[in-house]
Amino acid sequence: MIKAAVVGGSGYSGAELVKILAGHPGVELSAVTSTSLAGESIAALYPNLTGVVDLSFSAYDPALAGGNDVVFLALPHGKAMTLAPALKAGGSAKIIDISGDFRLPPALYETWYGQAHAAPDLVDSAVYGLTELNKDAIRNADIVANPGCYPTGVILAAAPLLAAGLVDGPVTANCVSGVSGAGRALSEATQFCRADENISAYKVGGVHQHIPEIEQMFSRLAPEPPKLVFTPHLSSFSRGIYTTLTMAAGISSLAALNHLYKEFYAGKDFIKILPAGIYPAVKSVAGSNYCQIGLAVDARAGQVIVMSAIDNLVKGAAGQAVQNMNVMFGLDETAGLMQVGLFP
Amino acid sequence: MIKAAVVGGSGYSGAELVKILAGHPGVELSAVTSTSLAGESIAALYPNLTGVVDLSFSAYDPALAGGNDVVFLALPHGKAMTLAPALKAGGSAKIIDISGDFRLPPALYETWYGQAHAAPDLVDSAVYGLTELNKDAIRNADIVANPGCYPTGVILAAAPLLAAGLVDGPVTANCVSGVSGAGRALSEATQFCRADENISAYKVGGVHQHIPEIEQMFSRLAPEPPKLVFTPHLSSFSRGIYTTLTMAAGISSLAALNHLYKEFYAGKDFIKILPAGIYPAVKSVAGSNYCQIGLAVDARAGQVIVMSAIDNLVKGAAGQAVQNMNVMFGLDETAGLMQVGLFP
Amino acid sequence: MIKAAVVGGSGYSGAELVKILAGHPGVELSAVTSTSLAGESIAALYPNLTGVVDLSFSAYDPALAGGNDVVFLALPHGKAMTLAPALKAGGSAKIIDISGDFRLPPALYETWYGQAHAAPDLVDSAVYGLTELNKDAIRNADIVANPGCYPTGVILAAAPLLAAGLVDGPVTANCVSGVSGAGRALSEATQFCRADENISAYKVGGVHQHIPEIEQMFSRLAPEPPKLVFTPHLSSFSRGIYTTLTMAAGISSLAALNHLYKEFYAGKDFIKILPAGIYPAVKSVAGSNYCQIGLAVDARAGQVIVMSAIDNLVKGAAGQAVQNMNVMFGLDETAGLMQVGLFP
Amino acid sequence: MIKAAVVGGSGYSGAELVKILAGHPGVELSAVTSTSLAGESIAALYPNLTGVVDLSFSAYDPALAGGNDVVFLALPHGKAMTLAPALKAGGSAKIIDISGDFRLPPALYETWYGQAHAAPDLVDSAVYGLTELNKDAIRNADIVANPGCYPTGVILAAAPLLAAGLVDGPVTANCVSGVSGAGRALSEATQFCRADENISAYKVGGVHQHIPEIEQMFSRLAPEPPKLVFTPHLSSFSRGIYTTLTMAAGISSLAALNHLYKEFYAGKDFIKILPAGIYPAVKSVAGSNYCQIGLAVDARAGQVIVMSAIDNLVKGAAGQAVQNMNVMFGLDETAGLMQVGLFP
């Protein structure tokens, strides 16, 4: 059994980790920390866990790295990088960080996150955890930088065309996130009466911190990486990120496009390439680790449209983190992750 | 492995059965029938099953009873009773019927369902499948009449007080169902634009066909069974039934009430009695087979209030059907049913 | 033109007042106060008012009572009673208070609101503003205590039977409120991810502060007033309160019941008695000042069921406040209040 | 008083017309037709109209054009063009058609709607009813082709940049529609359980019939009209269309962009240009005739992003139809259209 701890278990991604790990056949969940709720029952905050998880939140302790095989960090951006060095020093546990703290080189991090990086030495050794695209490196990683939710949806949708060198010009990415993407922190924007029956864009104009993360992977995948024009939106569902990519690409046959994607993702259990005329939907993957990808060609306008749907808390956060853990510890990549989307 | 078939797999309860059985470690799903969709892929109708269930719908054939250990009937009321006799004749498969066809004596059935019963001889041998209250009989049943969704929520909430002989006068049951309770058939009432942001009562005034089913169990549980005043409502969520019972009962201590319920349901894995001041919520059990029960005493008015929450498609239909199958075949009662509620 | 000010315009009820008064043909809206947002544009907080209301929030000033004909108080409970005496002293403006501060005698207030009343002398002169039941007194009132949202729905539904002396035994009231009923204050319970796809009871067991307000009106209406058993719920819609009353009543003909209600509410423009078999729905009245009432008889159980639907922010708060203003100033009772429900 | 009839009043746009016209101070609504529901009360289908509209649906009769000043056609595509010639012959009423039948030249119509045009002679005289851009022609029109919902949102968002000749290359339009955009016809896609908590693209790849309508206006507005890459989506709200345009445009100052839009729409009451950093939201305009427009510049990628939000049933259909009627009959353009968005 792999002994695991979750640091920062009171947020939505942390709680999803707790839920997945509690049902994982190869994991023993030893501790879930929360600074503000230490001592309180987890099920009191997440009533779906009543009778499922009997743990209470505990206080954070760097010694967790000594007593566990893996420590998941599910903290707000800027927090994980302050804890990681002591954790590394405290024991041999592998670290999987769900925040943005280990995804970018320190200089780029400072530009986009607005603060200096607190552990620049550790960034070098961190491996970017987009499992389907980086599995070999993840296998041997000590620190995994788990991808952001938008990057997961965008990069998985774009990768086959990028890798084939077919993208010509900027990639326009319109993404719509469910409200859980904004986290559990109380805010006006996430109040039911404001978020319900609504859609609105935010952080428009090339300012979202996920842009450099996406472009960094574009650079690794494509010989001549395109610019990204990224507009995120928030709409009236709890879970899911829907991505619609529009780009000029040197491919005008839908059948050829479909073939390209099927080849690229052959053997990847969680990626589902949909047949012509069928498009992804976030409800189809809610609660699951799947990513559905749909394809279309606009011959009139000389453009290709690629859509993807993921659950932002699962494939976009906790689920992919466990997928990475499975890879790091030599388990079946799908262990504990076979939940099917809740539909209807 | 238990070999299982689902007759009528295109409706919401049937599809939920398919989803649960596909993930059940002890079951091989051999066939899913649909008269209208025979030949079509199940995943085309239920896109969450893409890559999970590769079967197509097949045509119904009474020979299913010969090649399977268990046949689930997930058909509209009035249909199951016309198929069951030939199924019984065609083989030794056990039958679990999700419709209302085998829950009531033929005369009562005719009164409430508005048609004569087509297989009155089989009704006698059918066992009412409210697992927690009828497990011994279910173990040896050849036909199980799986309970209705409202009856599951109401009876589980009332049973401990009824069995203790403490209920004095009518039980007022106000229930709110999610829209999936109305089934997949297209109707004005289940259109998004009408069902969204809404709540409305329906079948008000003692006319809902679940009333005799509930009162029948009240009679088996209580020495002097109370009348039921039942008002169902439909509101703006997909899954769940919320039940609020109000009744005069000879108990004025909340602690004693809580103790009564905990004792009654001791060892029942799927029933969760919540502590004082905590009340059930349908979102806490969405996608799971759990039933959460909350308790309160209104000393001013001399009344007890009991609330329950279930997922109507799981504990209220497909999940309980699988729970009954587990009991009938000597498996662990929770096998294949450990999904946790999707929250948030 | 009636000159009006709104004190506490940043909450949902206050904003709804601003919206209604801004479109009222006989009103000039002079000021909208907010302690925390003074100086900020109202439309920045309520973007539906962009280009409709150009005012900014101002700081509170008791001199408002001098320069206005009417001052609406849309403050949290416990606040209005501390401001009202200075307002009364500061000018001749009539006061319409939307909070619970002037609805109960001081002793009862202290019991249910947990604090001593700060202006007991003013309570005596306050008139309870359930317009349809108290119009003559409202006409000459200086202070109107605008009813609570639940009381409006429950009392309007029960009044004809109570006034006819037909209710026998307790009235069971199950009410379901939209999330706006919980106000704009940030809380875990009103987060989208928790409130969406959900229903849950709260303040169960005779503890909600609206109970004495309702029973007080029961006492004025009925010779032998019944006890109230009140269970409030929160569900997944923004606006609306749905009330389902169950009670033993000496009337077994639905036609007679319908006649009783039509007679009682004859000439009341905002009360709509629905025909047999048609039941209210909150979406039908969302955004409007209407109250729809539906009726049923359960002959089996000897009970009557009465349902009502209102918009909690309109007929349950701001709309009824303006209706009362219309009465107090001799305008047509419906002036500024003819918005039709937003459906679909 | 303008005497008006609505042909096809049972659909969502027709019902919205009925609601708006019933409250219009200068209109007498004489008849509302429905072939399938003739004789039935309108309020039975649209319960928000209970006590507001007392009419029943009547059968269609071409003589309506004789007894009315204006006839609104709110029929499915392909129907209006078969009725219009007889209507024109039957009287002098002006016609405002909400369908797509009179928006395109017959040849283009046949290409995109898949059927020959039934009244090609009338197409020439029809005036495209995007009020803000075509007011002079509308004033004298006998037939107005009311714009589609997506075209209204897209064209209003793009027009100032197009008219200024600043757009360079294709315009990528990602639009998200509420479910009412799919109409009242029953379908799997508009069932609550499928549409709720969801977003999905449809008609992807340059195949939606609104594309030529949009490009036709692009051609009238711009010297060198850009191609449109249009991807429509359906998400979980009833009302609204959210449009996000991305394009290369020769303008890099947000202030200049804002100035351009404010100038272009000066004096247009229903168009609201939002300040820098504020973006539209569909909930802000739900139930209203407003169009909110937000602006951003992505200097990194050399792109401009323009967002708009409208209510698809109001500014995208019935409201704009009434706005056009106001123009055609010399009324104030805003008469009967001052409803404010329902928020929260």
Considering only CB atoms, A50 lies closest to which of B239, B292, B342, namely: B292
Examine the domain organization and report whether D123 and D192 are in the same domain: no
Number of domains, chain A: 2
* pLDDT (tens digit per residue) in B282-323: 999 999 999 999 999 999 999 999 999 999 999 999 999 999
Quote the percentage of chain D above a pLDDT of 70.
100
**A141 found inside a domain:** no
* pLDDT (tens digit per residue) in B138-172: 999 999 999 999 999 999 999 999 999 999 999 99
Interface of A with C (CB under 8 A): 12, 179-180, 184, 186-188, 190-193, 195-197, 236-238
Considering only CB atoms, A197 lies closest to which of B48, B197, B340, namely: B197
- pLDDT number for residue D26: 98
Examine the domain organization and report whether D99 and D200 are in the same domain: no
- pLDDT number for residue D261: 98
Record the tokens describing residue A23, joined without a space.
Answer: 């049902």
**D59 found inside a domain:** yes
Whether D291 is catalytic:
no
**D49 found inside a domain:** yes
Indicate the pLDDT class of residue B42, thresholds 50, 70 and 90: very high
- pLDDT number for residue A41: 96
* pLDDT (tens digit per residue) in A138-187: 999 999 999 999 999 999 999 999 999 999 999 999 999 999 999 999 99
- pLDDT number for residue A297: 98
Task: Report which of B234, B242, B235 is spatially closest to residue B279, judged by C-alpha positions.
Answer: B242
CATH number of the domain residue B185 falls in = 3.30.360.10
**D340 found inside a domain:** no
**C337 found inside a domain:** no
Give the residues of chain D that fall short of pLDDT 50: none
How many C/D residue pairs have CB atoms within 8 Å? 82
Considering only CB atoms, D198 lies closest to which of A211, A237, A294, namely: A237
Instruction: Give the domain extent around C52.
Output: 2-128
Examine the domain organization and report whether A168 and A278 are in the same domain: yes
* pLDDT (tens digit per residue) in D261-292: 999 999 999 999 999 999 999 999 999 999 99
Q: Beta strands of chain C (E only): which ranges?
A: 2-7, 27-33, 70-73, 94-97, 126-128, 143-145, 171-177, 199-201, 228-235, 241-247, 271-273, 291-298, 303-310
- pLDDT number for residue C216: 98
Mean pLDDT, rounded, of chain A = 97
Given an 8 Å threshold on Cβ–Cβ distance, is D23 in contact with C344? Answer: no
* pLDDT (tens digit per residue) in C64-96: 989 999 999 999 999 999 999 999 998 999 999
Q: Beta strands of D13-66 (E only): which ranges?
A: 27-33
- Within 8 A of D174 by CB-CB distance, chain A residues are 174, 231, 244, 246
Mean predicted confidence (pLDDT) in A72-95: 95
- pLDDT number for residue A92: 93
Mean predicted confidence (pLDDT) in B29-43: 96
Given an 8 Å threshold on Cβ–Cβ distance, is B292 in contact with A340? Answer: no
- pLDDT number for residue A240: 98
Rounded to 5 degrees, what are φ and ψ at B17? -60, -45
Mean pLDDT, rounded, of chain D = 97
- pLDDT number for residue B99: 97
ipTM greater than 0.90: yes
Examine the domain organization and report whether C157 and C111 are in the same domain: no
Residue D234: closest CA among chain B residues belongs to which residue? Answer: B192
**B340 found inside a domain:** no
- Within 8 A of A205 by CB-CB distance, chain D residues are 254, 296-299, 305
Interface of C with A (CB under 8 A): 12, 179-180, 184, 186-188, 190-193, 195-197, 236-238
- Within 8 A of C49 by CB-CB distance, chain D residues are 340
Considering only CB atoms, B196 lies closest to which of D12, D187, D238, namely: D238
Burial of residue A89 (number of CB atoms within 10 Å: 0-12, 13-18, 19+): exposed
Nearest CA to CA, how far is C118 from chain B (Å)?
Answer: 27
Check: CB of residue C235 under 8 Å from CB of residue C175: no
Residues 6+ apart with CB under 8 A from B23: A338, A340, B336
Helices (H), chain B: 12-22, 42-45, 64-67, 80-90, 106-113, 120-125, 131-139, 149-163, 192-195, 210-221, 254-264, 282-285, 319-328
- pLDDT number for residue D216: 98
Examine the domain organization and report whether D60 and D176 are in the same domain: no
The position carrying tokens 């099953």 is B49
Indicate the pLDDT class of residue B199, thresholds 50, 70 and 90: very high
C-alpha distances in Å from residue B221, one per residue of B164, B224, B266, C3: 9, 9, 17, 65
Give me the helix-helix angle, D106-113 and D210-221, nearest 10°.
140
- pLDDT number for residue D267: 97
Given an 8 Å threshold on Cβ–Cβ distance, is B204 in contact with C294? Answer: yes
Measured CA to CA, the distance from residue D141 to residue D243 in angstroms comes to: 29
Q: Chains contacting A with at least 3 CB pairs below 8 Å?
A: B, C, D
Examine the domain organization and report whether A155 and A271 are in the same domain: yes
* Catalytic-labelled residue, pool A149, A175, A193, A291: A149
Given an 8 Å threshold on Cβ–Cβ distance, is B192 in contact with D197? Answer: no
Examine the domain organization and report whether C162 and C283 are in the same domain: yes
CATH number of the domain residue B20 falls in = 3.40.50.720
Nearest CA to CA, how far is D178 from chain B (Å)?
Answer: 9
**B163 found inside a domain:** yes
- pLDDT number for residue D135: 98
- Within 8 A of A341 by CB-CB distance, chain B residues are 47-48
Indicate the pLDDT class of residue B175, thresholds 50, 70 and 90: very high
C-alpha distances in Å from residue B169, one per residue of B230, B261, B299, B304, D308: 14, 20, 17, 12, 59
**D321 found inside a domain:** no
Q: Chains contacting D with at least 3 CB pairs below 8 Å?
A: A, B, C
DSSP annotation string for B271-308: EEEPPTT---BHHHHTTSS-EEEEEEEETTTTEEEEEE
Mean pLDDT, rounded, of chain B = 97
- pLDDT number for residue C268: 98
Considering only CB atoms, C193 lies closest to which of A188, A193, A238, namely: A238
Indicate the pLDDT class of residue B249, thresholds 50, 70 and 90: very high
Mean pLDDT, rounded, of chain C = 97
Given an 8 Å threshold on Cβ–Cβ distance, is D196 in contact with A283? Answer: yes
Phi-psi region of D206 (alpha: psi -120 to 50; beta: other; left: phi over 0): left
- Model-level pTM greater than 0.95? yes
Nearest CA to CA, how far is C101 from chain D (Å)?
Answer: 25
- Within 8 A of B172 by CB-CB distance, chain C residues are 172, 246, 303
Nearest CA to CA, how far is B322 from chain A (Å)?
Answer: 17
Examine the domain organization and report whether A116 and A170 are in the same domain: no
Examine the domain organization and report whether C172 and C242 are in the same domain: yes
Q: Tens digit of pLDDT per residue, chain C (344 long)?
A: 999 999 999 999 999 999 999 999 999 999 999 999 999 999 999 999 999 999 999 999 989 989 999 999 999 999 999 999 999 998 999 999 999 999 999 999 999 999 999 999 999 999 999 999 999 999 999 999 999 999 999 999 999 999 999 999 999 999 999 999 999 999 999 999 999 999 999 999 999 999 999 999 999 999 899 999 999 999 999 999 999 999 999 999 999 999 999 999 999 999 999 999 999 999 999 999 999 999 999 999 999 999 999 999 999 999 999 999 999 999 999 999 999 999 99
* Catalytic-labelled residue, pool D149, D175, D193, D291: D149
- Within 8 A of D342 by CB-CB distance, chain C residues are 48, 239, 286-287, 342
Indicate the pLDDT class of residue A126, thresholds 50, 70 and 90: very high
Task: Report which of C285, C283, C307, C282 is spatially closest to residue C295, judged by C-alpha positions.
Answer: C307
Nearest CA to CA, how far is B261 from chain A (Å)?
Answer: 16
Q: How far apart are the first and last CA of chain A?
A: 35
Measured CA to CA, the distance from residue B268 to residue B12 in angstroms comes to: 26
Residue A182: closest CA among chain C residues belongs to which residue? Answer: C193
* pLDDT (tens digit per residue) in A195-204: 999 999 999 9
Examine the domain organization and report whether A196 and A87 are in the same domain: no
Examine the domain organization and report whether A274 and A212 are in the same domain: yes
Mean predicted confidence (pLDDT) in A265-284: 98
- pLDDT number for residue B66: 92
- pLDDT number for residue B4: 98
Examine the domain organization and report whether C124 and C164 are in the same domain: no
Check: CB of residue C204 under 8 Å from CB of residue C229: no
Measured CA to CA, the distance from residue D222 to residue D79 in angstroms comes to: 32
C-alpha distances in Å from residue A248, one per residue of A162, C103, D88, D214, D331: 12, 66, 47, 21, 48
* pLDDT (tens digit per residue) in C26-62: 999 999 999 999 999 999 999 999 999 999 999 999 8
Considering only CB atoms, C342 lies closest to which of D50, D51, D342, namely: D342
- pLDDT number for residue C60: 95
- pLDDT number for residue A326: 98
